[in-house]
Amino acid sequence: MIRVVNGGMNNTDKYHALREQYPVFEYVAYHWKEEAEGLRLWFDFRMGDVEFHPTALVERRPFLDFNVPHSAINSIVFDIGMVELVSYWKSACPPTVRVLCGSLTEEQVAFWRKLYWNGLGEFYYINSLTPDPSPKGEGSDVFMTIQCEGQSFVTAPLSARRGVGGEAYLVPIGGGKDSVVTLELLRRAGKMIRPLIMNPRGATVECARVAGFPVDEVLVIRRTIDPTLLDLNAKGYLNGHTPFSAMLAFYTRLAALLSGIPNVALSNESSANESTVLGTDVNHQYSKSLEFEDDFQKYVNEELRMKNEESSFNYFSFLRPLSELQIAMLFSRFTQYHDVFRSCNVGSKQDIWCGHCAKCLFAYIILSPFIEPARLNQIFGKSMLDDLTLQHEFRQLLGEAETKPFECVGTVSEVRQALAMTMERWYKAGRRPVLLNDLKGLKDFIDLFPLNSLLPIGNLTPEERQILQAACTEKSN
C-alpha cells in the first residue's frame, strides 16, 4: 500500500522515516522477449509492499538482428535493470539493495555505488540530504549497500555476431545542437551513421528527418516509467534528478549488440565535467562527464573480459575536445536545422522553446556570437537578452550565484566569452540588450577558448580528432 508521506516533515526527516519504513529494495527479475513490435524488456522491482514494473521496447527494424546469443542479451538487460533501478530506489532510498536475479563482482558493485552516489548528487543537494557515501560504513546514514543473491551469468562468446565494422557509428539524437554537429561531421567524413532516439519527440524526429533519416531508418527505443512511481511522487515521497545519460549508455550497449555497430558516438562536450555547485562534486551532468565515460567503458571491458570476449564496443563522446563555443560555431553553419532543433526541457512535450528557463537562455547566449540577432530572435521567439525576468538565470550562468542552473549548460567562462564576443560583434556601438547594459570586465574572456584548436582530452582516435580539427579550422561561408 502506498502511504501518504507527512507533508509537514522536512526532507531530512522524510528521508530517515522512509528508509526505516522501507529498509530493503529488491531487484527481483528482468525479462525480455521478441515480439512483433521488437524486443520487449521489463523488470520487477519490489520495495516492501510496493512493486514497480518498468518496461522498454527496442523497435523492430530491418537492420537489427535479434538472433544473437541469449546469454549476451541476458547480461546486458540485467545491467539495464540495475540502472533503471535508480529512478525507483530514490523514492525512499532504502539502505539495502538486494539483487535476486544476478551476481556482481566487488568491482562491479563499486561501479554501481559510485554511479548511484555521483549520479544522484543533485538529488541529495536539492533535497538537503547528507548521507554517508563510505563503501563499507555501518549505521543508518550509509546511503546504500548492494547484496547479490542471484546466480552468476553463464555466457557464450559473440564470435558468431558479425558487425557492420569500425567505420559505422550509432549517434544518439537528443534534438539539440550537439548531436546535430556529431551527426553532420561524421557523415560528411564518409562514415556510416545510424541515428538512435530514445522516446521520440518532435525535435528528435525532425533533426533525424532533416539529416535524411525517416523514422524507419532510426534505431528507436521506447522506455516507460511505472505509474506507481508517479503515485509515490504525488504522495510526497522523495523525488529529483536521475542520471539519464547513464541509462542511455546501457541501452546503447544493447543497441550496439543488435545492430552490429560497435561505435557509440555521444555528443557530450568538455563543459560537462564542471560541477554545477561551485566548489563541490555536485554535477547535474555527471553521467555526461569524462569520468563516467571512462568508468562505463572500463565496466563493459571488464565484463567482456570475464566472458573471454574481445572488446569491440566503443562508447565515447565525439565532441569531448570541444568547448560549447566551438560546438555553437559549427552548429551555426548547419542552417537547415535552425528551425527544428530544441534544447528546452520545459517545452519538450510541446516541442517549443519556452523562453523562460535557464536552458533557453544559455542556448541563446552560446549561439549569439555566430547568428545575427534578428535571426536568433526569430528562432527563439524573442530577444532573450532583453527579458528582465531572466536576471536570476543570467547571474547563475555568469557564476554570480551559489550554483549554476541545474541544466545541461556550459561553463561560466564559456558564457562570459560568448557574451564578450556578442558585444564585440553585434553591439560595439549603439543600443545593447538590457541584460548586457551593466556587464563589465568581459574583455579578458574574449579569447579564452580559441575556436580553432582542440582540448587534449577525450577518447577519440587520431582520425576522429582530425575530423574535428578540420571542421574547426574551416572558414565559414
Question: Is residue 344's pLDDT more than 90?
Answer: no
- Predicted confidence at residue 234, as pLDDT, reads 93
- Round the average pLDDT of the chain to a whole number and report it: 88
Question: Is residue 379's pLDDT more than 90?
Answer: yes
pLDDT tens for 139-167 read 445 788 999 987 655 444 443 344 555 68
Question: Is residue 364's pLDDT more than 90?
Answer: yes
- Predicted confidence at residue 272, as pLDDT, reads 63
- Predicted confidence at residue 439, as pLDDT, reads 78
Q: Give CA–CA dist 54/31, Å, rounded.
A: 11
Give Cβ neighbours of residue 35 (< 8 Å, ≥ 6 apart). Answer: none
pLDDT tens for 415-439 read 999 999 998 888 887 788 989 887 7
Q: Name the one residue in this structure whose C-alpha cell is 546486458.
A: 76
- Predicted confidence at residue 442, as pLDDT, reads 73
Question: Is residue 78's pLDDT more than 80?
Answer: yes
Q: Stretch 376-405: mean pLDDT, rounded?
A: 89
Q: Give CA–CA dist 312/24, Å, rounded.
A: 37
pLDDT band at 11 (very low <50, low <70, confident <90, very high): confident
Predicted structure pTM score:
0.91
User: pLDDT higher for 238 or 273?
Assistant: 238
Reduce the secondary structure of 417-456 to three states and give it as a string: HHHHHHHHHHCCCCCCCHHHCCCCCCHHHCCCCCCCCCCC
Residues 325-361 as b/e (b if ≥16 CB within 10 A, e otherwise) read bbbbbbbbebeebbebbbbbebbbeebbbbbebbbbb
Give the residue from 98, 3, 4 showing the smallest Cα distance to 46: 98
Give Cβ neighbours of residue 433 (< 8 Å, ≥ 6 apart). Answer: 383, 385, 386, 427
H-helix or E-strand containing 193? strand 192-198
- Predicted confidence at residue 225, as pLDDT, reads 96
pLDDT tens for 22-65 read 999 999 999 999 999 999 999 999 999 999 999 999 999 999 99
- Predicted confidence at residue 382, as pLDDT, reads 94
**DSSP for 346-371, written as a single string:** TTTTTTS--SSSHHHHHHHHHHTTTS
Question: Is residue 404's pLDDT more than 60?
Answer: yes
pLDDT tens for 255-289 read 999 999 999 999 988 776 776 776 677 666 788 89
Cβ proximity of 411 and 382 under 8 Å? no
